[in-house]
Amino acid sequence: MTLTALIVVLAMCGQGNKALEYFYEMQIRGVKPDAITFVGVLVACSHAGLVDERISHFNLMSEKYGIRPSIEHYGCLVYILGRAGRIAKAEELIKNMPMALDHFVLGGLLGACRIHDNLEAAERAAQQLLELLPDNGGSYVILSNRYSSSRKWKKVKRIRELVAERNIKKPPGCILIEVDGVVHEFVKGDPSHPQSSEIYEMVDDMINR
């Protein structure tokens, strides 16, 4: 549990190579990893950009330790394949998943299609995502932006019509930050935070610098 916690925390903080060092140490010590350990390992591979290593670790789960990959493990693998530009490989993996599709998996693929400007794959992913979550406003926005960048104006118009017909509302961006035990919530376009004026002054100062 201690080593798994260390691996996961390091992976989530972007220290992928350090997380993998502890995973290799775990194996040397003969400590058996569990499914959560491998989530950390796969995330670590993402941050370190280790595509082939991630595939190897993914296969190691079932082949050596008898751990059946969950939707979280598949999501991690789809994410790194997509980010690396291996869109077709990511789609093939999704197609062969032994469980029902998940919106995080499809969302990861859709995001990768946006990065690599792969409109055809983005259409397929968005269609599946909209079937799964027809009220997900973000999917409509991403697909509309892809069509716009490809100058497919008729399709852009159709997406906007669908949004209007289905009364889809995209929630504004939001982030939560904890400082000294107090949680601060920031919503896009909302100046209601008590230190809002100081925050915007600091932003202006940073821009000027």
Please write the tens of the pLDDT for every residue from 170-183.
Answer: 667 788 888 888 88
DSSP letter for 193, please: S
Residue predicted with more confidence, 8 or 167: 8
pLDDT (mean) for 104-114: 83
User: pTM higher than 0.85 for the full model?
Assistant: no
How many CA atoms, within 13 angstroms, populate the side-chain half-sphere of residue 76? 28
- 103 falls in which pLDDT band (50, 70, 90)? confident
Residue 120 to residues 143, 156, 192, Cα–Cα distance (Å): 11, 15, 42
Q: What is the pLDDT of residues 4-40, one digit of tens each?
A: 999 999 998 889 899 999 999 999 999 999 999 999 9
Per-chain mean pLDDT for the chain: 86
Length, in residues, of the chain: 209
- 7-35 in b/e form (b: 16+ CB < 10 A) is bbebbeeeebebbbebbeebeeeeeebee
Distance CA 140, CA 135 (A): 9
- 132 falls in which pLDDT band (50, 70, 90)? confident
Distance CA 185, CA 190 (A): 10
Structural domain spans, the chain: 174-209
- 196 falls in which pLDDT band (50, 70, 90)? confident
Residue predicted with more confidence, 143 or 151: 151
Residue predicted with more confidence, 36 or 117: 36
Distance CA 105, CA 143 (A): 16
Check residue 8 and give its pLDDT: 92
- 201 falls in which pLDDT band (50, 70, 90)? very high
Q: What is the pLDDT of residues 50-74, one digit of tens each?
A: 888 888 888 889 898 999 999 989 9
The contacts of residue 19 (CB under 8 Å, 6+ apart) are 6, 7, 8, 10, 11, 40, 41, 43, 44
Check residue 20 and give its pLDDT: 92
